Structure 1
């Protein structure tokens, strides 16, 4: 029985990883910097995290509000997503992919690895 549960869990993670690979491209910080000025830069962390420090030029659409506010993001322009790690930005990308967004990118390693310009309040 335990073996069956382990197989199901592993299968779930493999399927999720394959879906993610199709939905979103992971970019290094250098690649992210090259393209984000021509894209929509979206920080999906919660407002307190965003206000404590965010990538210069980013808009805050918290993951907790993403399903209600995703239409603020244009589907015809590239979308650069990030959060603290990559969990919420990955889930946001999967959601946008289902809504027919095609140019989806996320910061590899998330904001915790960012060493570029930061704005804070």
Structure 2
């Protein structure tokens, strides 16, 4: 599984790169703040929402600590998606968030 640090992903966001970031946390966690521009799809909804994830794009997956997003990455890789897990999750994110 490919991984990226929160710092590396933050640099891409700040550089204005066009990124697909998927936050797999639950609603109440995301309400506290998510990476600007991230799409919210709770982990449990990923299998039924595959049609909302573009197979031709690279996606960065995020959760609170990196565990759930790692599971999502494994599932999506098996489905043929190009994904990278943000290690350490939002606990490692030191940049701005949107609410």
Q: Shorter-chain TM-score: which interval?
A: 0.7 to 0.9
2:42 pairs with 1:65? no
Q: Which has the larger radius of gyration?
A: 1
2:21 pairs with 1:29? no
The structure whose RCO (Cα within 8 Å, separation 6+) is larger is 2
Q: CA RMSD in A?
A: 1.4
Instruction: Give the deviation of 1:70 after TM superposition.
Output: 2.2
**Which residue of structure 1 lines up, in the alignment, with residue 94 of structure 2?**
115
The within-5 A match list for 1:40-59 is: 40-59=20-39
Larger helix share, 1 or 2: 1
Counterpart-to-counterpart distance in 2, 1:38 and 1:71: 20
2:73 pairs with 1:93? yes
Gaps of 5+ in 1: 1-23
Count of aligned positions: 96
Counterpart-to-counterpart distance in 2, 1:78 and 1:35: 13
TM-score by length of 1: 0.73
Gaps of 5+ in 2: none
Instruction: Give the deviation of 1:108 after TM superposition.
Output: 1.4
Instruction: Give the deviation of 1:34 after TM superposition.
Output: 3.9
Counterpart-to-counterpart distance in 2, 1:46 and 1:112: 15
- Structure 1 pair 87/95, CA: closer, same or farther in 2 (3 Å)? same
